[in-house]
């Protein structure tokens, strides 16, 4: 039997909404790739468009979700296929069709249901 807390349900709903056209949240840059910038609100559109050009099928897969009180820890993979050109300071890397699989973790701190 699986028990889902209200906090976990809130976080799962946020992931579901993020698969649509909602730009509400924060994306922290990946060190060495895009620096340590944080993107919020409308700025997320730039990151989403950039990723969509490189990896048109980019998506997140949630593996394990653990809720403890106000904290939800999620093991997640970002997956896609390299189908768009990647502009770098050294020049453009042409698409190879290689599969992308970035294992990562997200931590949510929920206060007062939001």
pLDDT digits (tens, 9 = 90+) for 88-103: 899 999 999 999 999 9
Q: What is the pTM of this model?
A: 0.66
pLDDT for residue 1 is more than 80: no
Per-residue model confidence as pLDDT tens digits over 56-91: 888 888 999 999 888 999 999 989 999 999 888 999
% of the chain with per-residue pLDDT over 90? 25
- The residues, any chain, with a CB within 8 Å of residue 104's CB and separated by 6 or more, are 76, 77, 78
* pLDDT tens digit sequence for 10-24: 888 887 777 765 555
Sequence-ordered list of residues with C-beta below 8 angstroms from that of 53, at least 6 positions apart, any chain: 84, 85
């Amino acid at each position: 039997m699986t028990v889902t807390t209200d906090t976990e349900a809130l976080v799962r709903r946020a992931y579901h909404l993020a698969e649509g056209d909602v730009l509400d949240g924060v994306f922290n840059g990946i060190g060495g790739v895009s620096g340590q910038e944080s993107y919020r609100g409308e700025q997320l559109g730039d990151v989403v468009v950039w990723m969509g050009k490189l990896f048109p099928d980019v998506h997140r897969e949630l593996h394990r979700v653990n809720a403890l009180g106000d904290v939800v820890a999620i093991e997640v993979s970002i997956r896609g296929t390299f189908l768009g050109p990647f502009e770098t300071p050294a020049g453009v890397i042409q698409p190879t069709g290689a599969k992308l699989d970035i294992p990562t973790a997200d931590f949510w701190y929920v206060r007062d249901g939001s």
